[in-house]
């Protein structure tokens, strides 16, 4: 939602759900179930936070609160939808939702990269308070 345009954001989301309903391959899942699956596939479980210890800055892995998981996943879906090359925002969002439901796409890649970063810095987790 840009500039508080809530009704425009709702319309884009509902149009995207209609497009997902048309484009989906498997008939047993509805568009809303595909959206929930996409959101689950994009949700990160850990994140890295910078912490300064001594003179060095370490990336320390932290678990994420459930509400932050959902908001982060939505932000990633929206931001990577905006970067896609389709005509309308509804088409972009629908394509990103379909890709995320199949565990593909840029938003899922962002989650995988975040988890890799946390795994690589697991040795510094003792700096967490």
Residue range 96-126, pLDDT digits in tens: 999 999 899 899 999 999 999 888 887 877 7
**What tokens appear for 115 in the block?**
């988890």
109-120 per-residue burial string, b: 16 or more CB within 10 A, e: under 16: bbbeebbeebee
Which CATH code for domain 6-127?
A: 1.10.455.10
Average pLDDT over residues 56-78: 91
Say whether pLDDT at 71 is over 80: yes
Q: What phi-psi label fits residue 6: left (phi over 0), alpha (psi between -120 and 50 degrees) or beta?
A: alpha
Residue 49: per-residue pLDDT: 87
């Amino acid at each position: 939602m840009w500039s508080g345009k809530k009704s425009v954001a709702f319309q884009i989301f509902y149009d995207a759900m209609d497009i997902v309903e048309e484009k989906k391959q498997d008939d047993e899942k509805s568009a809303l179930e595909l959206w929930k699956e996409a959101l689950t596939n994009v949700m990160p479980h850990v994140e890295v936070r910078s912490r300064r210890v001594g003179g060095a800055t370490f990336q320390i892995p932290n678990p994420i609160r459930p509400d932050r998981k959902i908001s982060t996943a939505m932000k990633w879906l929206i931001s990577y939808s905006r970067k896609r090359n389709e005509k309308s925002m509804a088409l972009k969002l629908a394509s990103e939702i379909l890709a995320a439901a199949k565990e593909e796409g840029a938003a899922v890649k962002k989650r995988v990269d975040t988890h890799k970063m946390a795994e690589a810095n697991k040795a510094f987790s003792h700096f967490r308070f």
